[in-house]
């Protein structure tokens, strides 16, 4: 089937693609909300429907990839605005345990499954690596929509996801080096030290600096000073993160955290950012769906492998991460485990690197892509179910402050 935009050239084609993506995302989001399902799942499925695999109304491109990247950057920046460093530090030890277990279990089980399937060692490692990192953007989108980003388990999920991404990217660096024929341990060690140092510096030093700078910025006459300052800080730290060797979304998340701790107008800025995220985030979600090719699933063996890899991906995060928080109670452990399940763009990035290095073929690429999308779609409904009590309490209590956030103290009253 030819793309609808095939007869259109240049700027009009780009605009038509963006129009189709945004319209499909919002229509499916509305449908899923009416069905009492998370809108995020509808937006991803919108991408599958309009993408090359079904209606072929739009296709992934450099422009859609760029918009998707910008969308998830601003999403994580918004999440950071609702996450103060002090809150993360309170759950730092627990988040670290959850993160480590959430890395070891998927990597090992994914590798063992693929070796048993007959894959080569390096191919099995790539699949295991794709199962490691967590797409915090998906979970954050669900919890933000429920007004529960300040819940104790949400803070653990956010902290563990940041650690997971750092560990996952380090493992990816090592596996990519092995695929190229050598491992540069010094480079990996330097990247690890820079990543940890960067995160600690922004969390410990960034917030106090913002506290001193913010009052002066708020006095600027050129429009919304603190809003512009926040956007510049978000993009600047995103760039810094990529140069250090970690994902740009980590820099964006840390920028939001620094502002949440240091700026008095952080709640106001969160409100200002809502329009930006409502426009950009759907491109991130739809783009994930558009990258899922259904052609490779004609083979029964590939379908079976997809099912096995997806089940292992869900089980290892649910049980591994949940085990790290088991002393909080079974329900909260399940919340944390399920919150760490989505792989999203991180799994897709790993698959793309493996394909570009000719380490994995189109079928395994399709399997990893299916796993990334499936875990991303499966997790939100279960998260909504697991957080049902907290969400009901949030509706009863109402927003306690200008930011509309229910605090951990509020939740403790009805726990």
CB 139 within 8 A of CB 377: no
H-type alpha helices, 35-83:
39-50, 62-81
Beta strands in 162-320 (DSSP E): none
252 in a domain, yes or no? yes
CB 347 within 8 A of CB 135: yes
123 in a domain, yes or no? yes
CATH label of the domain that carries residue 161: 1.20.1530.20
56 in a domain, yes or no? no
- Domain with 336 in it: 64-279+299-390
358 in a domain, yes or no? yes
408 in a domain, yes or no? no
Cα distances (angstroms) measured from residue 250 to each of 195, 202, 271, 285, 349 = 10, 11, 21, 18, 15
35 in a domain, yes or no? no
Q: Which residue has the tokens 């990192």?
A: 133
49-54 — which CB contacts under 8 Å span 24+ positions? Answer: 49/24, 49/289, 50/20, 50/21, 50/24, 50/286, 50/290, 51/289, 51/290, 51/291, 51/292, 52/3, 52/290, 52/293, 53/292, 53/293, 53/294, 53/295, 54/294
318 in a domain, yes or no? yes
411 in a domain, yes or no? no
Per-residue pLDDT of the chain (415 residues; tens, 9 = 90+): 455 445 556 678 889 999 999 999 999 999 988 887 767 778 888 998 999 989 999 988 889 989 988 988 888 888 778 667 776 677 778 888 998 999 999 999 999 999 999 888 888 988 898 888 787 777 777 787 777 777 888 888 888 887 787 777 677 767 777 776 666 677 777 777 877 788 778 777 877 787 777 777 766 666 677 788 888 889 999 998 888 777 777 788 888 888 876 655 556 677 778 888 889 889 988 988 888 777 777 888 889 999 999 999 999 999 999 998 888 889 999 999 998 998 766 677 677 777 777 788 878 888 888 888 788 788 888 888 888 877 665 555 454 443 333 344 443 332 3
CB 198 within 8 A of CB 240: yes
Question: Collapsing DSSP states into helix, strand and coil, what is residue 399?
Answer: coil
**DSSP type of residue 280:** H
Q: How many domains does the chain have?
A: 1
Q: Which two tokens stand for residue 72?
A: 């998830």
């Amino acid at each position: 089937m030819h793309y609808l935009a095939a007869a259109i050239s240049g700027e009009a084609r780009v605009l038509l693609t963006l129009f189709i993506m945004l319209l499909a995302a919002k229509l499916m989001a509305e449908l899923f909300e009416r069905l009492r399902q998370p809108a995020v799942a509808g937006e991803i499925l919108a991408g599958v429907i309009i993408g090359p695999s079904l209606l072929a109304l739009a296709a992934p491109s450099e422009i859609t990839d760029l918009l998707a990247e910008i969308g998830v950057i601003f999403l994580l920046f918004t999440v950071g605005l609702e996450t103060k460093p002090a809150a993360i530090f309170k759950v730092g030890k627990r988040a670290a345990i959850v993160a480590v277990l959430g890395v070891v279990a998927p990597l090992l089980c994914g590798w063992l499954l693929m070796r048993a399937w007959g894959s080569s060692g390096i191919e099995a490692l790539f699949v295991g690596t794709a199962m490691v990192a967590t797409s915090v953007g998906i979970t954050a989108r669900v919890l933000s929509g429920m007004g529960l980003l300040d819940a104790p388990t949400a803070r653990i999920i956010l902290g563990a996801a940041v650690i997971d991404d750092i560990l996952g990217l380090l493992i990816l660096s090592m596996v990519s080096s092995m695929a190229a024929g050598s491992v540069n341990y010094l480079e990996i060690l330097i990247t690890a030290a820079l990543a940890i140092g960067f995160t600690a510096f922004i969390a410990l030093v960034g917030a106090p600096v913002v506290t001193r700078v913010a009052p002066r910025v708020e006095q600027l006459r050129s429009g919304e000073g603190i809003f512009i300052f926040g956007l510049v800080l978000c993009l600047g730290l995103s760039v810094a993160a990529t140069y250090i060797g970690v994902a740009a979304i980590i820099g964006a998340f840390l920028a939001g955290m620094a502002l949440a701790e240091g700026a008095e107008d952080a709640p106001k800025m969160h409100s200002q950012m809502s329009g930006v995220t409502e426009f950009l985030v759907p491109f991130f979600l739809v783009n994930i769906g558009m990258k899922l090719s259904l052609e490779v699933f004609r083979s029964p063996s590939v379908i079976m492998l997809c099912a096995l890899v997806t089940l292992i991906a869900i089980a290892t995060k649910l049980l591994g991460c949940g085990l790290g928080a088991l002393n909080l109670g079974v329900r909260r452990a399940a919340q944390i485990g399920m919150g760490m399940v989505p792989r999203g763009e991180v799994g897709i990035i790993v698959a793309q690197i493996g394909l570009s290095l000719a380490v994995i073929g189109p079928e395994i690429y399709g399997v990893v892509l299916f796993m990334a999308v499936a875990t991303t779609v499966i997790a939100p409904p279960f998260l909504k179910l697991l957080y049902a009590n907290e969400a009901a309490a949030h509706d009863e209590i109402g927003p306690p402050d200008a930011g509309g956030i229910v605090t951990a103290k509020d939740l403790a009253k009805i726990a």
